[in-house]
Amino acid sequence: METESMGLLLRPDAHYTKSDGGLYLLTHEGPVFLPGRAVHPLLTRLAPYLNGDRSLDELTANLSGERREMVRRLVVALIDRGVVRTGQRITPELPVPAEPLETPGGSAYRGEAGFLSYFRDSGHAAFQEYRNERAVVVGQGALVPAVAAAALRSGLAFVHLVTPDQGDALLPAVEEGRRDPEQRVTHATLGSAAFGPELKSATLVLHAAGGSADPLAADRAVRLERHCAAEEVDLVQVFAFEGAYWCTLSGPRLGIGPAWRSVELRCTARRPHQARDESSAPHAVATVVAAQVVAAQVVRRALLALSGVAAPGPGNVARFDPLTMTRREHAVVRHPFAAEAEVEPSTASAFRAAVAARHAAPCLDEAEFSRRAAQCVGEHLGVFSPPAERDFVQLPLRVCEIEVSDPVGLLGRETPLPRVIGAGLAFEAARLDAALAACSAHAVLMVDPRRLVDAEERPAFEPGTDAHLALSLLREGEADAHVHGYALTGRGEVRLVPAETVFPALRPRAVQDAGETGPPWVVPTGLASAYTWSDAVTTGVLAHVRRLALQESAEACGPSPRVELENVPLDAVGTRYLSILAALGEEAAVYAIGRSLPAFTMLCQVGGSVRGCASGLSAPDAIRDSLGAAILTYQARMHGQPAYAPTPPTPEPVHLGGGGSYRPDLGRAGLGAVLNGLAERGHAPVAVPLDHDPEMSAVMPNTVHVVMTDG
């Protein structure tokens, strides 16, 4: 074991104390707990000897038996948790080597080298490698001199500026970061062509950009990312955007960072009413002091990552709050419009294969879906907001709300973002219900025009057409676009469905004039997400059955019969719903409506006016779900919280009661029988997978919009 012959040093920044049942340590990586009542007194006795001058063999040389093994186990545990580090022998009086750095100004950097020595065997060698980086600072605006000065202050020997700003105006601010006379600063003018000579021999590129003074920042970021990836050069980017500073790292030594385009699009999708308008932010980000502080933190992140001390998480971006200077890491889900590769339009053969794969896929369990969905949640960049209970009264049902981003801006800048509701008997059930609804809402708002085809199944747009321009043409009615779906009746033929039928937000009536607030977003009928593809399709079909049943009931001349609930065996959830109503002193009156349709539809009435309606493949399922909808409506009205109330059943049935009692068939209808019944009435349901965001489809592959076409 190599550790046995290496010097052992208890990190000076590790603090420890006795805790109930063991030892509690606070380290540079967070808290650590080691169980065992003997651990704290043992470390207290060992600490003076963990000074870097002794190896594990020497530390245990005079011990034997159980005592020796106890010490060895403790030391190894401390090494594994980063509390004790191993390395070359160092003396207690001098925790880091005292030899000078190779540069004339090396003595000025003993602090940096000493800091790296806590993590690396040779902190001086690690810092020397960093100092020799060929750093190029690219960009425009107030961040450029701040980043360049921070780069000098960190010890870099060479900094090359590439900016459209005049060098004479920048250099005085940059020179404030100089720490030794051997450091060099050069300047070149930033051109509009592809990067070449400006980045020649660069090993580290620092891109500082953003704000109203730098309108070309996003385009420059794309070109830099492409160049640095091709040349295998590490890239650090810092942007002023949406009232904050954002930093991404990528490269062979910095890891796989997100493309800036994904960060920009995801951020804009979460706050569409603030898109690209830094002046409206609650606090400006262009102050000199804020830029200097952020630049110092960004360069420090680069130093730590390049030195192998603290690599960033894959796909993460750091957000700096200019008001408090706090930094938080955020995961970024790659946006479809940020993809470098060309997107192939859908074809009938590829569509058939994709649908077959969905049919054959195993059931997605709740735990796995929850884990995947958690990666899409975030306050600033998340596809969804974190699940929230807000001030909702959580009785008798648990209620959860999730805000959904507007991924390509179909709702308009001033329209409030969609908020979906989940409800259940437990918090976990409510959150899963809300997460499924959020996946559906996002999928029906995510349209990639490059995936669309015309009526002849040719690409709807020429290759290379800007995606946002294509969306504008669609919404103005100047383009013919369709998506593939498959008929749920007949032989399951592949059909072309107008894009605006599948994605209602594309319709021109949904376009809002600048400065006006659009109508609230409404969930389209037939939209569903589920743990299996067949369940999602079934849910979408039943949503149309419910709609047709309500229409039939509203037009019926005779009354709807009341269901004999005492003769219907309900599952545990349905039974609990009845218990809740009994505890509230209310009775549920359940009516069978739309009985000519090939599925069961029930309308539940509580308290004379509160109603819930649901369709199911069996009467008990439909009754259970209608009870749940009615209870949630009752709860919202009782507590004066209409935000989570389900949409009232419309059109409202006129004739309820007076139709006698009804004992429903307790058998279960097959989906095929339901579809055949719809076909006999002239309806042709078509299932369209909503998969225009590949990353989100990997999270929830079973999202579908079932649309009705003429038979």
CB count in 10 Å sphere of residue 315: 19
- pLDDT exceeds 60 at position 283: no
- pLDDT exceeds 70 at position 103: no
* Mean local confidence (pLDDT), 369-384: 94
pLDDT: which is higher, 708 or 104: 708
pLDDT: which is higher, 709 or 655: 709
Q: DSSP for 491-545?
A: T--EEEEEHHHHSGGGSGGGPPPTTPPPPPP-PPTTEEE-SSHHHHHHHHHHHHH
* Mean local confidence (pLDDT), 64-86: 88
The pLDDT confidence band at residue 194, using thresholds 50, 70 and 90, is low
Q: Is 4 left (phi over 0), alpha (psi -120 to 50) or beta?
A: alpha
Single out the residue of 244, 252, 255 nearest to residue 278, CA to CA: 244
* Mean local confidence (pLDDT), 161-168: 82
Give dist(CA 44, CA 41) in Å, integer.
Answer: 5
The pLDDT confidence band at residue 263, using thresholds 50, 70 and 90, is very high
* Mean local confidence (pLDDT), 221-226: 91
Give dist(CA 304, CA 307) in Å, integer.
Answer: 5
The pLDDT confidence band at residue 683, using thresholds 50, 70 and 90, is very high
The pLDDT confidence band at residue 599, using thresholds 50, 70 and 90, is very high
Residue 81, pLDDT score: 86
Place of tokens 């200077």: 325
- pLDDT exceeds 80 at position 284: no
Residue 312, pLDDT score: 63
List Cα–Cα distances, 402 to 269, 332, 385, 438, 653, in angstroms. Answer: 14, 18, 6, 7, 31
Decide: residue 684, CB within 10 A, 0-12 exposed, 13-18 middle, 19+ buried: middle
- pLDDT exceeds 80 at position 548: yes
C-beta of residue 234 within 8 angstroms of C-beta of residue 250: yes
- pLDDT exceeds 80 at position 105: no
Residue 520, pLDDT score: 64
Residue 492, pLDDT score: 84
Residue 92, pLDDT score: 39
Residue 89, pLDDT score: 58
Highest mean pLDDT among 112-121, 242-251, 337-346, 573-582: 573-582
| Overall fold of domain 133-332 | Rossmann fold (3.40.50)
Average pLDDT for the chain: 87
* HSE-up of residue 538 (Cα within 13 Å, Cβ side): 18
Determine the Cα angle at 709 with ends 705 and 711, to 5°. 140
Domain boundary assignment for the chain: 2-87, 133-332, 348-521, 529-680
pLDDT: which is higher, 552 or 52: 552
Residue 443, pLDDT score: 97
Single out the residue of 235, 229, 66 nearest to residue 139, CA to CA: 235
Single out the residue of 625, 623, 647 nearest to residue 636, CA to CA: 647
C-beta of residue 523 within 8 angstroms of C-beta of residue 539: no
Decide: residue 90, CB within 10 A, 0-12 exposed, 13-18 middle, 19+ buried: middle
- Give the pair of three-digit tokens for residue 394: 């959580």
Residue 519, pLDDT score: 54
Place of tokens 């590829």: 350
Q: What is the pLDDT of residues 5-25, one digit of tens each?
A: 578 888 877 889 988 888 998
- pLDDT exceeds 70 at position 88: no
CB count in 10 Å sphere of residue 103: 17
Sequence-ordered list of residues with C-beta below 8 angstroms from that of 123, at least 6 positions apart, any chain: 96, 97, 113, 114, 115, 116, 117
* Mean local confidence (pLDDT), 346-353: 90
pLDDT: which is higher, 210 or 700: 700
- pLDDT exceeds 80 at position 692: yes
- pLDDT exceeds 60 at position 513: no
The pLDDT confidence band at residue 1, using thresholds 50, 70 and 90, is very low
C-beta of residue 266 within 8 angstroms of C-beta of residue 258: no
- pLDDT exceeds 70 at position 91: no
Q: Torsion angle, CA of 372/373/379/381, rounded to 10 degrees?
A: 60
Residue 280, pLDDT score: 42
Single out the residue of 428, 442, 328 nearest to residue 384, CA to CA: 442
Give dist(CA 270, CA 497) in Å, integer.
Answer: 29
- pLDDT exceeds 80 at position 228: yes
Q: What is the pLDDT of residues 416-427, one digit of tens each?
A: 899 999 999 999
Single out the residue of 81, 68, 88, 66 nearest to residue 29, CA to CA: 81
Give dist(CA 398, CA 429) in Å, integer.
Answer: 8
Angle, helices 143-153 vs 167-175, to 10°: value is 40
| CATH class of residue range 2-87 | alpha beta
Residue 517, pLDDT score: 47
Residue 224 Cα to chain centre, angstroms: 25
Give dist(CA 325, CA 18) in Å, integer.
Answer: 34
Sequence-ordered list of residues with C-beta below 8 angstroms from that of 237, at least 6 positions apart, any chain: 206, 207, 208, 209, 221, 224, 247, 248, 249, 260
Give the number of residues written for the chain. Answer: 711
Residue 638, pLDDT score: 92
- pLDDT exceeds 50 at position 275: no
* Mean local confidence (pLDDT), 213-236: 89
List Cα–Cα distances, 395 to 274, 387, 509, 581, 623, in angstroms. Answer: 36, 18, 39, 12, 21
pLDDT: which is higher, 652 or 79: 79
- pLDDT exceeds 60 at position 711: no
Give dist(CA 505, CA 509) in Å, integer.
Answer: 8
* Mean local confidence (pLDDT), 159-164: 91
Determine the Cα angle at 131 with ends 178 and 248, to 5°. 90
The bridge status of strand 234-241 relative to strand 244-250 is antiparallel
* Mean local confidence (pLDDT), 585-594: 92
The pLDDT confidence band at residue 326, using thresholds 50, 70 and 90, is confident
- Give the pair of three-digit tokens for residue 677: 């019944």
The pLDDT confidence band at residue 281, using thresholds 50, 70 and 90, is very low
Task: Quote the strand ranges of 351-439, DSSP E.
Answer: 398-403, 419-424
- pLDDT exceeds 50 at position 40: yes
The pLDDT confidence band at residue 290, using thresholds 50, 70 and 90, is confident
Of 219-228, 449-458, 552-561, which gets the smallest average pLDDT? Answer: 552-561
